Structure 1
Amino acid sequence: MPTYDFVTLDVFTDRPFGGNPLAVFPDARGLTDAQMQSLAAEWNLSETTFVLPPSDPANTARVRIFNRTAEMPFAGHPNVGTGFVLAGLGRGQGDVLRFEEIAGLVEVRVARDGSGGLTGAVIDAPRALVTGPQLTAAQAGACVGLAASDFVTASHPPVQASLGIDFFFAEVTADALGRSGPDLAGFRKTAAETDTGSDRLSLFLYVRDGQKLRARMFAPLSGTFEDAATGSASATVGALLLSLSADAEGRYEITQGVEMGRPSQLNVTARRAPDGVRASVGGSCAPMFRGTVEL
């Protein structure tokens, strides 16, 4: 039977057992789509990545990202973690790697400490900011057990935005963030009302204090009842906030995963570009396990 090596690591943390866990298969050649999906479901993490040769040899790899139930076009912590792993294996050109993904080309820049050791990575989201439909505060509240009065709508209502993958973003009070939790029936009802698809409604709640945010992300319809660190959503909220200002650039420090006991720190830079608002997200990584799977 063929065997496949894997590694796991915690992303957006500098220590084990924090951040968002990720499993990476650095050489997934020979695995079928069904096997990749089954392995992701077996790991039961928010995402698992599978690395394949690139279509264009100028790029580092083709990276496929699966959550528990489906393949994803793009995601944040899987790219940060996969870049960290592949850089440690000597792949890429210098400290820059380029991943071919469904949403487009993702550039990863690895970070090192003073002695040259790998510490983490920064990724550029593959697309400029696009905003979509809005939710009422009542619809968003139904998803997470909150009242309409718990939402802060001075800057924006609950709104869908994307840099390659869709999320709904809602600002809430500090007290409400701590009280929130996923309500499956509420998610299903709101998904049906907004035609977002049976498994596509993801809700990112945040509290803002200047350039610092506290956040939680819920996507129970795709199997992630709560996510410890959502890089793609963090990059997108940074782009969204910049788009609502007159600034040319914005830098945001986002803390997530505290309520799960997996504190995560994400650093976001959003900037205005010729094609719209773009953003990057980065953080540290902590290696955990390695082994093989026999199929």
Structure 2
Amino acid sequence: MQTPFRQVDVFSSEPLLGNPVAVVHDADGLSDATMAAFARWTNLSETTFLLSPTHPEADYRLRIFTPGGELPFAGHPTLGSAHAWLEAGGTSRGENIVQECGVGLVSLRRDAGGSLAFAAPPLHRSGPVADPDVDRILRALRITRPDVVAAQWIDNGPGWVAVLLRDADAVLGLTPDFAAFDDLKIGVVGSYPEGGDCAVEVRGFAPDAGVPEDPVTGSLNAGLAQWLTKDGVLPPSYTSSQGTVLGRRGRVRIDTDASGQIWVGGESVTTVLGTCTVGD
């Protein structure tokens, strides 16, 4: 079948400097196997499929695939797919856009200037990391225990475990051993000196999902914000940088509203527009 297709660069206002997501519109007729095969073919960190909602409160339903399989939630595909849905003429039922996906309903708001932000979903797993898992993380990142300031599980769907290093330079200097990751999906964060444009540098590694290093990661930044703002390491609102090592300039805006809800947002821009021919 032939269907509309967009490729959207997320967390950047400039094409080619964020994280691309492939978005297939009108995907109700596609099988699971075809979606998975198309995601392997695009070979992007995520490919998404827009479908009719099944929940009465949802504006659309989204399925999210990496080259290695389906995810219940991911951040940059959520923002990029909402951008594509709106650009194609989608109209939300209420003030916010409501996305139906594997973790349930995710709310998105339009920020000043037209950018989008999603409400960080609850964590499925949180809390300290057991010593055997810390040892696995150290081997994968090629670092030692004194390099780690703190570690936490921050799993909101993809399975993230997070490590806080002493500063942004330590994050940028990592040379991971991807063969040692096994099933780990590791997020790493370190602070920049105060007064700069960005509060932290972030890197996300998920080789088991076919994504050795993700350019800019919404779900990871959401989990990091839930952990580090709660613990007072970071302020309620800040901007993070991600993708520097990969030649990107991703910017993720974190904002905590009066109710305590964390919103994760950034700019998106369509870089490819057309149709695609998919099986079935």
TM-score, with structure 2 as normaliser:
0.88
Q: Partner amino acid for 2:254?
A: V
- Residues 170, 246 of structure 1: alpha-carbon distance in 2 compared, 3 angstrom cutoff: closer
Higher alpha-carbon deviation: 263-272 or 46-55: 263-272
- Residues 228, 127 of structure 1: alpha-carbon distance in 2 compared, 3 angstrom cutoff: same
Task: Give distance in 2, aligned partners of 1:272 and 1:49.
Answer: 32
Which structure 2 segments of 5+ residues have no match? none
Which structure 1 segments of 5+ residues have no match? 114-118, 189-198
Task: Give distance in 1, aligned partners of 2:105 and 2:273.
Answer: 27
- Residues 180, 111 of structure 1: alpha-carbon distance in 2 compared, 3 angstrom cutoff: same
Q: Shift of residue 5 of structure 1?
A: 1.8
Aligned residue runs from structure 1 range 21-170, under 5 A: 21-93=20-92, 96-111=96-111, 113=113, 119-127=114-122, 130-136=125-131, 137-151=134-148, 153=149, 157-170=150-163
Give the aligned CA root-mean-square deviation in angstroms: 2.3
Aligned residue runs from structure 1 range 99-248, under 5 A: 99-111=99-111, 113=113, 119-127=114-122, 130-136=125-131, 137-151=134-148, 153=149, 157-173=150-166, 174-188=168-182, 199=183, 201-209=184-192, 212-245=199-232
Question: How many positions carry a matched residue from both structures?
Answer: 270
Listed one character per residue, the Cα deviations across residues 154-187 of structure 1 (whole Å, up to 9, x for unaligned) are: xxx3221133442111111334312213313321
Q: Percent identity?
A: 31
Q: Shift of residue 102 of structure 1?
A: 1.0
Listed one character per residue, the Cα deviations across residues 119-138 of structure 1 (whole Å, up to 9, x for unaligned) are: 43111123257414505454
Q: 2:239 aligns with which of 221, 231, 253?
A: 253
Are the counterparts in 2 of residues 146 and 176 from structure 1 also a CA contact under 8 Å? no
Are the counterparts in 2 of residues 10 and 287 from structure 1 also a CA contact under 8 Å? yes
Confirm or deny that 1:262 pairs with 2:248. Answer: yes
Are the counterparts in 1 of residues 119 and 264 from structure 2 also a CA contact under 8 Å? yes
TM-score, with structure 1 as normaliser:
0.84
